[in-house]
Structures are given as structure tokens and as C-alpha cells.
Amino acid sequence: MQPYNDALMVTLRIGGYDVRRVIVDQGSGAEIMYLDLYKGLNLGPEDLTAYDSPLVSFDRNVVILRGLIRPLVQAGTEVVEVDFIVVDAYSLYTAIVARLWLHALGVVSSTLQQKVKYPSQGQIEEIVRSQSMARQCLVAAILHQLEAKSSVFAEKGL
């Protein structure tokens, strides 16, 4: 669907499960796994490594960190270990893969073409985005913002 300015959202196999709503973010230096995915992978506190560096969200709030997890992430036949920071924050996405994953796999991503390409066994493989899922998440994010604003107004009696 036109225009092609949606977030680059893909499905990856993480920890042995097909995980949808994974954002590819070339600008981020940290791979993020949201708590819902962490719980969905049947992981517990014993699977986490301590991680105490502060993390600030896009809305400039400090995010609650649960720790670091290192699951296998599979794209096609290529598998790499990825250090995800597990965070307890609201998100429509399940995970964010960033520069470390991109570099480990040799990925070239394009938001214009809505694809991720990487070398694999002498060939170029590609992951095509899920544009409909990206648009559903955008609509849900807008609705979430509206609900949050209306609840703030209700609390203030406006």
C-alpha cells in the first residue's frame, strides 16, 4: 500500500518462537525485548543477567529494566545470539532489533523498500515487512495516546 513510510516491522524467530511485531531500528544502539514477549517465551528471573545502565524511552521517561537476556534470533537459516534488554514498559511492539543485530547478520535494511536483506550461504536472503501489522500498530498507538490524554483530562475534571 502507498505510501511506503511505515515502520519496518518483521517477523523473526526468537528463542524458538515466531515473533511478530519486531521493529528494525537502524538508529538504535540497544536491542529491546518488552516484558510481554519475555513472559511469552516462558522465561523466568533465573534467565536474566543483571543490567543496571539507565534507559530513557522516546517520551523521555526512565524505563524499568528487568535485566539482559541472550536468546537465539533466527532470520531464514542464519542464527545469531542477541543481547536484549528486557524492559517493563508499554509497547505495541514485541521487540526492537538494532545495529548490533544488523551488524552481526550483515543486514542492509530499507524503510523505503520495506525489506531487510542479508548474505546467507553465498546468496542474498530477504525478509519482507509486514505493512498491515505496522499500520495496525500505528492506529493502536494513536488510540492509546488518545485514551491516555482523555484519562488525564478526566482526572483533572476537564
Residue 3 lies in a domain: no
Rounded Cα distance between 103 and 138, Å, is: 27
Residue 1 lies in a domain: no
The DSSP secondary structure of 85-154, one letter per residue, reads EEEES--SSSEEE-HHHHHHHT-EEETTTTEEEEEETTEEEEEE--HHHHHHHHHHHHHHHHHHHHHHHH
Q: In total, how many domains does the chain have? A: 1
In eight-state DSSP terms, residue 13 is E
CATH number at residue 14: 2.40.70.10
pLDDT value, residue 53: 83
pLDDT value, residue 114: 76
Residue 14 lies in a domain: yes
The pLDDT of residue 107 is above 70 = yes
111-136, pLDDT tens digit by residue?
A: 777 788 889 989 998 876 665 665 56
Residue 63 lies in a domain: yes
Give the residue numbers spanning the domain of 146: 9-155
pLDDT value, residue 148: 62
Residue 4 lies in a domain: no
Phi-psi region at 99: left, alpha or beta (left = phi > 0; alpha = psi -120 to 50): alpha
Residue 108 lies in a domain: yes
As a whole number of Å, the end-to-end CA separation of the chain is: 39
pLDDT value, residue 81: 94
Q: Is the peptide bond before 45 cis (omega within 30 degrees of 0)?
A: no
Q: For the residues 26-31, what does the mean pLDDT come to?
A: 86
Residue 49 lies in a domain: yes
Residue 58 lies in a domain: yes
Asked if residues 66 and 48 have their Cβ atoms less than 8 Å apart, the reply is: yes
